[in-house]
């Protein structure tokens, strides 16, 4: 089969996360048609999560190519680059404060970034409530309603448990042995002033060698705290607990972190609303596949790694490079080949560097 020119191609992106939307935006900016399919009922159907730091050379580079860098800087929080390192008593051991005018890795809420990207797309670009069940090697998407859509290129931007990945690879995400338990705090300056003071403008971290806490400020007076533990993936059920039994989980955490000061335990126990269990998975390293001119992957679908500040940045850089390759190539096959020649070695290098990083953060 002859690979079409990208300007005549039917390009389908699966997943309306930062990577998928960045790809769509840059494609449209270069006059290429694209449709994004997402299983969510709409852009507000679920919480998008906490804050992101976008690096100058990765996420911000992609937003420049998307023509959205000024909008990003209006929304981002340079002061959020602050890091505080505490001990389990809550004593400040060290602090990194960004210099005046430093915008190398400013923070932005995930929801704000998604809104910025969505607002930049042509109306109707994202087909909400469309769940992809499988994809064929020739680019046919099978939908949950029994229908099918034929594309010349399918871009899998659908995350850790991608429905597009199996076309290219038999690899499946493996549990890292570590889990985040998320707690959130609202209106922190008024309702949780001690926690607000402890965390500061950006991020705070403490570990005792077996467990750790990460706290992260978002805009609008919100803070999210992540308890990192080296436990089995089903640790909640194994302890006889349910994720929706907030009081029972609080009691369990109070015992688990009993050696920590009351001030630090407030980061776990004074939360507003239920906890969220987030077992952490990663793809085998290296994760590579035989090239297919009709299907490719970006972001977590291509290189799922521990969440240590590179995931969204790499997804957006992937998206940018793929979209530019399509805009500059004579055929879709040529563009996919050019993109994967750069993306696969880069992701392999990052993934190798991050192996074991979660364990080190417990210290």
pLDDT in tens, 88-117: 999 999 999 999 898 999 999 999 999 999
Q: Is 238 helix (H, G, I), strand (E, B) or coil?
A: helix
Query: What class is the 6-80+104-172+283-361 domain?
Result: alpha beta
Mean pLDDT of 39-63: 89
**Residues forming beta bridges with residue 143, ordered by sequence position:** 132
User: Band of the pLDDT at 350, cuts 50, 70, 90?
Assistant: confident
The lowest-confidence range among 22-31, 125-134, 303-312 is 303-312
Domains 6-80+104-172+283-361 and 174-281 equal at CATH topology level:
no
CATH 3.30.9.30 fits 174-281, yes or no: yes
Q: Is 265 helix (H, G, I), strand (E, B) or coil?
A: helix
Per-residue pLDDT at 309: 66
The pair of structure tokens assigned to 119 is 């607002």
Task: Delimit the domains of the chain by residue range.
Answer: 6-80+104-172+283-361, 174-281
pLDDT in tens, 68-86: 999 999 999 999 999 999 9
User: Band of the pLDDT at 193, cuts 50, 70, 90?
Assistant: very high
Do residues 277 and 252 make contact, with C-beta atoms less than 8 angstroms apart? no
Per-residue pLDDT at 50: 82
DSSP string, 25-41: HHHHHTT---EEE-SSS
Least Cα distance to 171 among 306, 58, 302 occurs for: 302
């Amino acid at each position: 089969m002859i690979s079409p020119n990208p300007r005549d191609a039917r390009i389908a992106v699966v997943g309306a996360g930062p990577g998928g939307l960045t790809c769509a935006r840059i494609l449209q900016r270069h006059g290429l048609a694209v449709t994004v399919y997402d299983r969510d009922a709409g852009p507000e159907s679920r919480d998008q999560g906490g804050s992101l730091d976008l690096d100058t050379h990765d996420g911000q580079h992609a937003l420049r190519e998307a023509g959205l860098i000024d909008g990003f800087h209006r929304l981002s929080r340079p002061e959020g680059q602050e890091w505080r390192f505490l001990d389990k008593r809550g004593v400040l051991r060290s602090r990194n404060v960004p210099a005046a005018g430093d915008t190398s890795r400013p923070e932005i809420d995930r929801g704000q970034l998604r809104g910025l990207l969505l607002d930049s797309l042509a109306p109707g670009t994202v087909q909400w409530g469309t769940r992809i069940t499988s994809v064929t090697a020739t680019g046919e998407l099978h939908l949950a309603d029994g229908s099918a859509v034929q594309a010349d290129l399918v871009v899998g931007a659908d995350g850790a448990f991608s429905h597009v990945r199996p076309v290219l690879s038999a690899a499946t995400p493996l549990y890292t042995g570590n889990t985040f338990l998320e707690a959130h705090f609202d209106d922190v300056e008024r309702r949780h002033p001690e926690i607000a003071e402890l965390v500061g403008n950006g991020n705070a971290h403490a570990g005792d060698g077996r467990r750790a806490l990460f706290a992260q400020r978002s805009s609008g007076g919100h803070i999210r705290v992540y308890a990192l533990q080296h436990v089995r993936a089903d640790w909640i059920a194994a302890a006889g607990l349910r994720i929706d039994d907030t009081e029972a989980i609080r009691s369990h955490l109070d015992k688990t972190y009993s050696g920590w000061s009351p001030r630090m335990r407030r980061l776990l126990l004074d939360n507003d609303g239920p906890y969220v269990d987030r077992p952490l998975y990663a793809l085998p390293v290296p994760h590579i596949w035989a090239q297919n001119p009709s299907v490719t992957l970006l972001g977590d679908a291509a290189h799922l790694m521990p969440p240590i500040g590179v995931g969204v940045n790499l997804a957006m850089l992937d998206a940018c490079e793929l979209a530019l390759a399509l805009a500059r190539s004579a055929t879709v096959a040529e563009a996919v080949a050019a993109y994967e020649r750069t993306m696969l070695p880069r992701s392999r290098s990052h993934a190798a560097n991050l192996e074991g990083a979660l364990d080190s953060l417990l210290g």
